[in-house]
């Protein structure tokens, strides 16, 4: 399955309370900002082979509804997106994301 197609069969989100708290405490990213990125375009998705262990991991570059640029790592479990980490994009990631708009 292509990385960009991984989200086609997803039906929602599966949130781990610890990850919700961690993303807020470390990066000030609320769970609803992370969710919004998956509905806004463009959304740049790629496989994360470096961090994959027993399950496939992915990373995405996207924008929350208020325009915040976010980098999100996630996996898919039982057709649900499970966000592992969410943070602001680096300058390099912003440039890559902006190029995807062209």
**Domain residue extents for the chain:** 13-101
pLDDT digits (tens, 9 = 90+) for 2-46: 556 889 999 999 999 999 999 999 999 999 999 999 999 999 999
Residue 50 DSSP class = T
Give the pLDDT confidence score for residue 102 in this predicted structure.
76
Mean pLDDT of 56-70: 95
For position 52, what pLDDT does the model report? 61
Distance CA 47, CA 56 (A): 8
Q: What pTM does this model have?
A: 0.91
**Closest of 23, 5, 25, 102 to residue 70, by C-alpha:** 23
Residue matched to tokens 């390099």? 92
């Amino acid at each position: 399955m292509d990385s960009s197609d991984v989200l086609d069969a997803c039906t929602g989100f599966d949130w781990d309370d610890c990850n919700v708290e961690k993303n807020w405490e470390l990066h000030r990213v609320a769970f609803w900002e992370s969710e919004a990125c998956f509905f806004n375009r463009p959304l740049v998705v790629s496989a994360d082979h470096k961090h994959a262990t027993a399950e496939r991991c992915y990373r995405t570059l996207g924008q929350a509804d208020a325009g915040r640029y976010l980098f999100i790592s996630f996996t898919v479990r039982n057709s649900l997106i499970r966000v592992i980490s969410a943070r602001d994009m680096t300058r390099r990631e912003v440039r890559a994301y902006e190029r995807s708009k062209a």
